[in-house]
A and B are shown apart, each in its own frame.
Chain A
Amino acid sequence: MAGAPLLYTPPGYTTTNVTYGIGIAFTAVTGTSVPSDQNLGVGTAWTGLGWAYVGATLDGVTVTFAPTTQNIVIEEQPTPVGVAVSTADLTVTMNLSEETLSNVNLSWGNGGTIAVTAPGASQPGKSVLTLSTNFQSMSVALVGKNAYGYAGVLYIPTVISAGQVQTAYRRAAQQRVYPLTLSAICPFQSITWSELTAIATS
């Protein structure tokens, strides 16, 4: 007599959890508060609190988490008995497409000053970016739309812009872009990822 039939019944999956779409990157002076939960998805709520939107990008925003680990091994066992985290690098990268002095400064370390002179008699209006290697830290927030259709926010309290920047001046091949690499320099547990899941009950 044959036994019970052998079944192949994999668990279901949720296609609505497959998300895509752009992320909106904001930067601000370190310590700037984020909007209330109700307003996390409202752009003006961010800018009203002092956050600056980086504007258009060439190919969106990329978040990279790259931990390195150290295997703890013993002679008696070929597989590790433990894995310790050596470093945990978290970076937010993007190619800024809007050539503003603010963006140039941001990608070049955020250490420069931008002095604005108003137009006057024999004086054209001008803005001058004076560069510096005294890189300044900042906060960064990445706002995207989550599977619920609401805002999801990755908030890194302290980052520093210290990536390699190369900008090509081309006749027609593409716009000038300013690569921005923001590396987290804060305690890992101070980084938060918030997802709005439902509207308030009242």
Chain B
Amino acid sequence: MTTAQPPAAGKPPAGTEPAGDRQDPSGRAAQLEDELAVLRAEAVAGAKVLMQIAEGSPHVAITFGGVTVGTSPTPVPAHMAPALAEAAAGAGVTLIQTEA
């Protein structure tokens, strides 16, 4: 959890430094590590595509293999897209894929 901290004595007043410098350094570091971990995982997992439930469907969400797709474009690992679409069709739900 990252929380904004008041500037320490001797530091320039707020507003004259980047927003990141005003945060608790250890919290900021943890946040950056989390973001880096996500980027690394995405690099390993490969591309993502956007999928959503087709308009007019009575369904509002469908979950398959730990991935939940709703009525708005949802990022899905590209390697899961075909299986997800097939599984959804089997459950009577039509998914559409849009450009990522």
Contact = CB atoms under 8 A, between A and B. Distances in A.
Contacts of B38: 33, 49
A10 interface: no
Contact of A117 (B29, B45, B60): B60
A98 to B, nearest CB: 16
Interface string A112-128: 11111110100100001
Interface string A26-42: 01111111111111001
Nearest to B41: A33
B91 A110 contact: no
Contacts of A32: 41
Interface stretch (A66-74, A131-139, A181-189): A131-139
Interface range, B side: 20 to 34
Contacts of A39: 30, 34
Interface range, A side: 35 or more
Contacts of B93: 113, 115
B33 A113 contact: no
A44 to B, nearest CB: 8
Interface of B: 1, 25-26, 29-30, 33-34, 36-38, 40-41, 44-45, 58-67, 77, 80, 83, 87-88, 90-93
Interface of A: 27-39, 42, 44-45, 49-50, 52, 102, 105, 110-118, 120, 123, 128, 130, 132, 134, 136, 138, 200, 202
